[in-house]
Structures are given as C-alpha cells and as structure tokens.
Amino acid sequence: MSVLGIVLIVVGALLVLLFVGGYVRARAQANRPEYGANVAAADRALEQARATDRGWDRELLREAALAALASERPGSEWDGVELVLVDDKPGVTDDVAHLVATGPDGQARVVLARREGGDWYSQRIE
C-alpha cells in the first residue's frame, strides 16, 4: 500500500470519528431535561426584547389578555401570562401578539391584534 493510501485512510478515519463524536454529543445535549426549558426561556426573552424594542407596552398586552380571558372564561383564575410570540408587521393594524396564560384550570393561548389607534383586542382564545 502506498503512503498516499495510508494518509487517506487515516484522514478518513479521523473524519468519521469526529462526526460520530459530534453526533453523540449533540444527542446527549438535546436529551437533557433542562435543555428544552432553556430554549423556551430564551425564546420568551427574545420575544419580550423584540416587543420592548418596537415600542409595545408589555403591561397593556397583559391587561388585554386578562380582559379577554375574563370575558371568555369568567371565573377562571390565571397565575401568569407569558408573551410567547410577536408578529410585528409594518404598520399598526397588522401587529399580532400571542400570550399564554396558565392557572389551575390549565393553559389558554390568547391571540391579540391591534386596532388603528393602537389598542389591543382579542382576536381569538385557544
């Protein structure tokens, strides 16, 4: 066997080992229980930052979501309301925000949209 053949075999073997090692590491990291929670927290933080940077008032969103839930599901209690998605299109009337309320009765997704004046209203509750 030539020297070039030996070098190519060694380089090929090293590439295969690096690929397998990377795959095993990525699978181990993805299977950690806190990994999903960390990704979700980062997503929420990113959406909150986008909303804040675009001039959206977080408290107004929360109040609009709670008002929509109170009219749609009277008597239900909600422990928290989290902003999970911001769809900020050009203009005001095409803006949409998704919030998830959690409480003893479970979860509810509130989809808010904006009127021409900038007021938030409930588009739907899932």
How far apart are alpha carbons 82 and 44 in whole angstroms? 8
Give φ, ψ of 116 to 5 degrees: -55, -40
pLDDT at 97: 86
Mean pLDDT (whole number) for 57-78 = 87
- What is the pLDDT at residue 60? 85
pLDDT confidence of residue 106:
86
Distances (CA, A) of 61 to 42, 77, 85, 110: 20, 18, 12, 10
Confidence of residue 68 (pLDDT cuts 50, 70, 90): very high
Tokens describing residue 46: 């990113």
Rounded to the nearest 5 degrees, what angle is found at the Cα of 72, between the Cα atoms of 112 and 60? 35
Contact (Cβ atoms closer than 8 angstroms) between residue 110 and residue 125: yes
Instruction: Tokens for 11, please give them.
Output: 């380089």
The pLDDT assigned to 47 comes to 77
Quick check: 50 and 89 in contact, CB under 8 A?
Answer: no
Lowest mean pLDDT among 15-19, 114-118, 120-124: 114-118
Are 78 and 66 within 8 A, CB to CB? yes
User: How much is the average pLDDT of 56-79?
Assistant: 87
- Work out the percent of the chain whose per-residue pLDDT is above 70: 95
3-state SS class at 120: strand
CATH class, 57-125 region: alpha beta
Confidence (pTM): 0.62
